[in-house]
Structure 1
Amino acid sequence: MLDHLPILQVIVPLLAAPACLLLNNARLAWLFACLAGLISLVISVALLVQVQQSGVISYMLGSWEAPWGIEYRIDLLSAYVLLIISSLGTIVLLAANTGIRQEIAADKQSLFYVLYLLCMAGLLGIVATGDIFNVFVFLEISSLATYALVAFGRDRRALLAAYQYLIVGTIGATFLLIGIGLLYSMTGTLNIEDMANRLPVDTNSGTVYTAFIFMIVGIGLKLALFPLHLWLPNTYTYAPSIVTAFLAATATKVAIYLLIRVQFSIFGADFGGELIQPIFIVLGLLGVFVASTVAIKQSNIKRLFAYSSVAQIGYMIIGIGIGTSLSLQGTLLHLFNHALMKGALFLALAAVVYRIGSTDRTCFNGLAKHMPWTMAAIVIAGLSLIGVPLTVGFISKWYLVLASIDSGMWPVALLIVLGSLLAVYYVWALVESAYFGKADASATSSAPIKEAPLGLLIPLWLLVIANVYFGIDTRLPLEASASAASFLMGGGQ
C-alpha cells in the first residue's frame, strides 16, 4: 500500500466525489467527504516523511517507465504543497456542514461536496503529477469544479463572477496549453524531468522563450498576479463563504507552486534572469501596494480580504523575482503561512455570514460583544496577516526582507516593510469597528446576535492556533521550505 501513496493521494478524493452524489444525503455526503479529506491528509503526511527520509518518489502508472508512461513524481516541493492542500482543504471541509446551511439550498448540498472533492482532487493532481500535460488536465478538473462552486453563491452576482472566472480561466489555460505545445515541439516529451534535461540545448531558441512567456502569462492569470487579478475580488466576494475560504487557502497556492515548478524545474533558476526577475519584483511590489490601497477603501470585508490576497501573492512573487535560495524559501514559507492566515480569516467571515447574513463593514460595528470568539479569531489572523512577531506572517516576511538585504536590494526590503504597514490600516479599521463601534439601533432592536456554532468555531480556531503555533515552533515549515528551496536552486528535479 505504501508504494501506491502517490496515486492514492489523487484517487481517494476523485473517487469519493461521485460517491457523495450517490449518497444523496447532505450530512452523509459531508461525513464521507471529511473521511476522504482525512485520508488524503494522512497520505500527504506519509509522503512528506517518506521524501525527507528516502528522497524523490517516482510512481509509474501502469508500470510504463517514464518518459513513455505517465509518472507521478513527489519531491520535497510537491510533498510540502500536498500537505498544505490536504490539511487546509480538510479543515475547511470540517466547517462546511454548518457553513453552507445559510448559503446553499438543502437539495444542492450533496452536489456541493461532489464539486469540492473534484476541485481538491484536481489541485492535488497538479502537484503530484510529473507530466506537464497531466498538469493541464488536472488544472481543468479543478477549474471546472471551481466555476460551479462559485456559482452556488446566493447573490445573483455570483453567476456573473463565475462566468468572468470561466472566461479568464479559459484564457489562462489556453496560454498554458500553447506553451506546453511549444515545449513539446522542441523536446519531444511531456515528462517534466525529461523535458528539463532536453531543454538546455535549446535555451537560446525563440520558441523556448515564447513557450516560457505563454506559460507564465497563463499561470499568472490563474494565480491572480497583478495586473491579471481582476477576476479574483468578485469571485471571493460572491462565492459561498466556505468556497472562498477553500480557494483562498489552496487554489492560489497551487498556482504559485506551478509557477515555481515551471521556472525552476523546467527552465532553470537562471533562465531569463536579467529580464524576468526584475519584472517579477516590480509586479510583486505593485501588487502589494495597489491591492492594499484598494483594500483600504472596500466596504465589503470579503472584498477587502480578497484584495489583500492579491497583495500577499505579490510578496510571494517578489521572493521568486529575487531568485536566491533564501528568497525562494521566503516564498515557500509565505505559501504555507498565507494559507493559514486566509483560511482563518475567511472561515471567520463564514461565521459572520452564518449569523448576520452579510459581510458589509457596517455590520461589524460592536459585533465583538455578540461574537467574541469569532472577532478574536479575526484579530489574531489579522495580526498574522500584518506580520506581527509570534505569528506565522512575521516569519515569512522576515525571510523575504533578509533575502532582499542579502541580495543588496535594500529598497525592496524597505518596500516590503511599508507594504505590511498598509495591512495595519485596514485590519485595525475592522478591529476598531468590531470592538469600539456602535451597532445601528435597528440592528439592536432585532433578535440578538449569537456566537457562531461549534461546527464553525472549532475548524476556525484550529487555524488560528496554527497561526500562532507555527509562528513560535517553526521547525516544520522552515525545514521543509529550506530543503525544497535548496533542492530547486541546485537543479534537482
Structure 2
Amino acid sequence: MALSVPVAVLAPLAIGAPILGACLLLTVGRRVPRRLVDGTAVAVAALVLALDVLLLVRSAGDPAGHLATWIGGWGPGSPALGIALVADPFAAGAAVIAAALTVAALVYTWHYLDSAEAHFHALLLLFLAGMTGFVLSGDLFDMFVFFELMGAVAYALTGFRVEEPTSVQGALAFGVVNSFGAYVTLTGIGVLYAQTGQLGLAPLAVALQGRPPGAVVVGGFVLVVTGFCVKAALVPFHFWLDDAHAVAPTPVCVLFSGIMVELGLYGVFRVTTVVFGPVLPHADLQRTFLVLGTLTALLGAVLCFLQRHLKRLLAYSTIAHVGLFTIAFGTLDPAGTAGAALYVAGHAATKSALFLVAGSILDRYGSVDEIDLHGAGRRARVLPWLMLLGGFALAGLPPFGSGLGKAVSEEAVAEAGAPWAPALFVLVSAVTGAAVLRAACRIYFGLGSRPDKDTAPLDTKGSEEAEVKGLLKRVPATMLGPLVVLLAGGLVLGVLPGVPQAFAEAADHFLDRAGYLASAFGTAAAPAAPSPASGWTTSGVVLGLVSSALAALLALAALYRDRLPGPSAVGRRIGDAVVARLRGLHSGHIGDYITWLLVGVALLGALVGLPLLAG
C-alpha cells in the first residue's frame, strides 16, 4: 500500500513535512514541555526518513531509474520555468542519509543543550528540508534556493550559542564565505540563463549540447560550481570549515560533516554529469577533479594530524576525505562513482559517530583538548572502544563500509589512469585514522608521555564550554544510543552482500544523462546498461589492513615521539616553518578567506579553460 504512493506526493512531502514541523514547533514550542518538543521533532524527522526510503525503493525499482514530478502548475511542456523534482537512487539515497543523521542528532539532543528551546529543533528540521530539496531539485535556480535555505539555517545553527564570541565569529566566517560562494553561483546561473533562456538542468543540457566549449560555457561551469565547491570545502575553498565545526553544537557537526559537505560534491557532479559533461572535454574535467581532490586530501590530512582540538581534528579529517571522494567521483565513470558513494555513506556513519564521541567528551570532562585531557577518561568503559573502532573505520579497516568504499574507489581510480592513487588513499586514510587513535589512547588510556600543553603558539586549544548544565557523571543512553547505531550502520554497509550491487546500479543511473533528460521531459528512455559491481577484493582488503596498521603505528609514534630519534636541526627548522605557514594561512580573517575563494575560482578556470585555449 505504501509503495503505491505516487512520487508526486512523496517528493514534495519529504520537503514540506519538515518545514511544517518547524512552523508547528515555533508556534507552540514554548507552551509545551521540552520532552514533547523533542518527541515531535524526532517524529517529523523519522517521517521524512520513511518518505525518503520509499522514494529510494521506488526509484531503484523503476526500470529507467529516474522519477520526475513537476509542482507549482508547471510541467515538461514549459521547461524554462517551474519546479522540477527528479529522484534517482543517488539523490534519494543522499536524502535518506540526511534524514537518518537528523534523527540521530535529534535523539542525541534529548539530554543536550538544556537551554535549547524549540527553535533549535525547528532549525534542524529546516536544515533537513533544505538538504532534501537540494538533492531532489531538477532546476539550477531551485537548487540555489534550497542551497541558500540550507546555508542560512546552517549559519544560525553554527552561532547558536550567541553569548560566546567564538561562536559568533565562526558563524560569521561561515556565513560570509559561503554566501559569497553562493552569489558567485547565482552569477553563473544568470550567465547561463541569459545565453540559453533555461534554468532546468535537462533543458539547459539540451540548449548547451553541440555548442563549442567557449568562454561562456567554461565561465558558466566555473561560476556555478564555485558555490558548491565552497560547501564541499575543497581546497582552497575550505577555510571556513574548521572554524564552524569548532564552535557549532555537536548535533550540528554531525550534519555538517556527515552530509552537508558531501552535498556540495553532489551539486558539483550532478551539474557536471547532466549539463556540462558532453560539452567540456572529459579529460580536462577528470584532471581538474584529480588536482583539486589531491590537494584537498593532502592538506586536510596534514592539518588533521596537527590538531589537539578534537572537533577541529575531525573537521580537517572531513576535508581530507572529501578530497578522496572528489578523486573517485572525478573519474566520471560508474566504478569510481559507486566507490565514492559507498565511501561517502560509510564516512557519514563513522564521522558522525566520532563527533558524538567528541560531544560526549566535552559534556563529560568539560574540554575537547586532547592534551589537557591526557588520562582523564581512564575509568570510562564503553566510549574508549567506540572511539578506537571509529578511528580504525576512518582508516579503512575491513569490513567497515568506509573500508569498502575506499577499496572500490582505489581500484576504480587506478584503472582510470592514476596508478599512484591507491598509495594516496592509504596514506590519507592512515593519517586521519591515526589522529583519532592517538587522541583516544591519550584521553582514555593515558598512553604516551604527558606532552607540553603549549606545543605551538598558533595551536588551537580545545577549551570550550560544556553543552549541558554541569558536567555529566555518565553518558545517558540517548547520547550513547545514536553513536552505537551509527557505528553499527557503518559496519553493516561493509558486510551486507547486496550493498555493492545497489551502489553500482545507483551510479549507473546517476551517470545516465539520457535517462535523466527523458524523465525530466516526460518521455521514455532505455534503461542504463548495468555495470559490474565491485565489492571486497584481495587487494582492497590488504590495502585496508595496511592503512589500519599504518594508522596504529603513526598514532604510537606520535604518543612516544620523545623516545624516537628526532630530525636534524635543519629538518626541524624546515618542518616548523612549514607547519607555521600552514597554520598561518588559516588565520580566521574573513578577508583572507574571500581572497582564497577568488584564488580558487581562478584555479578552476585555469584547470578547465587553459587546456581548451592551448588546444
TM norm structure 2: 0.75
User: Offset at 1:62?
Assistant: 3.5
- Return closer, same or farther for 1:62/1:276 CA change in 2, 3 Å cut-off: closer
- 2:15 counterpart (10, 24, 46): 10
Partner of 1:222: 231
Per-residue displacement from partner, 1:389-411 (whole Å, max 9, x unpaired)? 11111111101110122223211
User: Offset at 1:369?
Assistant: 3.1
Report whether the alignment pairs 1:62 with 2:72: yes
1:264 and 1:164 map into 2 onto residues whose CA distance is 31
Partner of 1:42: 50
Partner of 2:208: 199
User: Offset at 1:367?
Assistant: 4.3
- Of the structure 1 ranges 233-242 and 415-424, higher mean CA displacement relative to structure 2 is found in 415-424
Per-residue displacement from partner, 1:420-461 (whole Å, max 9, x unpaired)? 221243123113213431799xxxxxx997331111001111
User: Offset at 1:372?
Assistant: 2.3
Partner of 2:532: none
Stretches of structure 2 lacking an aligned partner (at least 5 in a row) = 451-469, 517-615
Partner of 1:122: 130
Stretches of structure 1 lacking an aligned partner (at least 5 in a row) = 441-446
Per-residue displacement from partner, 1:81-111 (whole Å, max 9, x unpaired)? 111111111112111121323xxxx2x4211
SS at the partner of 1:72? Answer: strand
- The structure with the largest alpha-carbon Rg is 2
- 2:94 counterpart (68, 71, 81): 81
Per-residue displacement from partner, 1:43-88 (whole Å, max 9, x unpaired)? 0110011111123222221342132432111122211111111111
8 A contact 1:373–1:451 mirrored in 2: no
Per-residue displacement from partner, 1:96-132 (whole Å, max 9, x unpaired)? 121323xxxx2x4211111111111111110112121
Aligned residue identity for 2:20: L
8 A contact 1:122–1:138 mirrored in 2: yes
1:355 and 1:141 map into 2 onto residues whose CA distance is 34
Partner of 1:370: 379
User: Offset at 1:257?
Assistant: 1.1
2:278 and 2:363 map into 1 onto residues whose CA distance is 46
8 A contact 2:367–2:373 mirrored in 1: no
8 A contact 2:297–2:319 mirrored in 1: yes
Partner of 2:574: none
Report whether the alignment pairs 1:466 with 2:466: no
User: Offset at 1:237?
Assistant: 0.7
Partner of 2:146: 138
User: Offset at 1:217?
Assistant: 1.8
User: Offset at 1:368?
Assistant: 4.3
Partner of 1:443: none
1:87 and 1:116 map into 2 onto residues whose CA distance is 12
Partner of 2:104: 91
- Return closer, same or farther for 1:262/1:475 CA change in 2, 3 Å cut-off: same
Partner of 2:424: 415
1:379 and 1:483 map into 2 onto residues whose CA distance is 33
Per-residue displacement from partner, 1:229-252 (whole Å, max 9, x unpaired)? 000001001111111112111211
SS at the partner of 1:298? Answer: coil
Task: State the identity as a percent.
Answer: 28
1:270 and 1:245 map into 2 onto residues whose CA distance is 37
Q: Return structure 1 stretches of 4+ with deviation > 6 angstroms.
A: none
Partner of 1:308: 317
Partner of 1:152: 160
Report whether the alignment pairs 1:271 with 2:284: no
Partner of 2:598: none
2:381 and 2:291 map into 1 onto residues whose CA distance is 40
2:140 and 2:89 map into 1 onto residues whose CA distance is 18
- Of the structure 1 ranges 222-231 and 53-62, higher mean CA displacement relative to structure 2 is found in 53-62
User: Offset at 1:29?
Assistant: 1.9
RMSD, matched Cα = 2.0
- Return closer, same or farther for 1:241/1:269 CA change in 2, 3 Å cut-off: farther
1:239 and 1:227 map into 2 onto residues whose CA distance is 22
8 A contact 2:290–2:327 mirrored in 1: yes
Partner of 1:444: none
8 A contact 1:344–1:461 mirrored in 2: yes
SS at the partner of 1:362? Answer: coil
Partner of 1:341: 350
User: Offset at 1:338?
Assistant: 1.4
2:191 and 2:268 map into 1 onto residues whose CA distance is 17
Q: How does 1:84-483 map to 2 (within 5 A)?
A: 84-101=97-114, 106=115, 108-153=116-161, 155-268=164-277, 271-437=280-446, 450-473=473-496, 475-476=498-499, 478-483=500-505
8 A contact 1:122–1:141 mirrored in 2: yes
Partner of 2:454: none
- Return closer, same or farther for 1:34/1:269 CA change in 2, 3 Å cut-off: farther
User: Offset at 1:269?
Assistant: 6.1
User: Offset at 1:474?
Assistant: 5.2
- 2:37 counterpart (20, 29, 32): 29
User: Offset at 1:203?
Assistant: 4.3
User: Offset at 1:471?
Assistant: 1.7
- Return closer, same or farther for 1:362/1:109 CA change in 2, 3 Å cut-off: farther
SS at the partner of 1:202? Answer: coil
SS at the partner of 1:480? Answer: helix
8 A contact 1:374–1:451 mirrored in 2: no
User: Offset at 1:305?
Assistant: 0.7
User: Offset at 1:156?
Assistant: 2.1
8 A contact 1:16–1:33 mirrored in 2: yes
8 A contact 2:158–2:247 mirrored in 1: yes
SS at the partner of 1:322? Answer: coil
- Return closer, same or farther for 1:111/1:283 CA change in 2, 3 Å cut-off: same
Q: How many residues align?
A: 481
1:50 and 1:408 map into 2 onto residues whose CA distance is 35
- Return closer, same or farther for 1:203/1:481 CA change in 2, 3 Å cut-off: farther
TM norm structure 1: 0.93
2:15 and 2:334 map into 1 onto residues whose CA distance is 30
Aligned residue identity for 1:132: L
SS at the partner of 1:7? Answer: helix
- Return closer, same or farther for 1:85/1:75 CA change in 2, 3 Å cut-off: same
8 A contact 2:66–2:509 mirrored in 1: no
User: Offset at 1:314?
Assistant: 0.4
SS at the partner of 1:186? Answer: helix
1:157 and 1:342 map into 2 onto residues whose CA distance is 23
Aligned residue identity for 1:87: A
User: Offset at 1:490?
Assistant: 3.4
User: Offset at 1:22?
Assistant: 1.6
Partner of 2:84: 71
2:501 and 2:13 map into 1 onto residues whose CA distance is 25
Partner of 2:590: none
8 A contact 1:394–1:471 mirrored in 2: yes
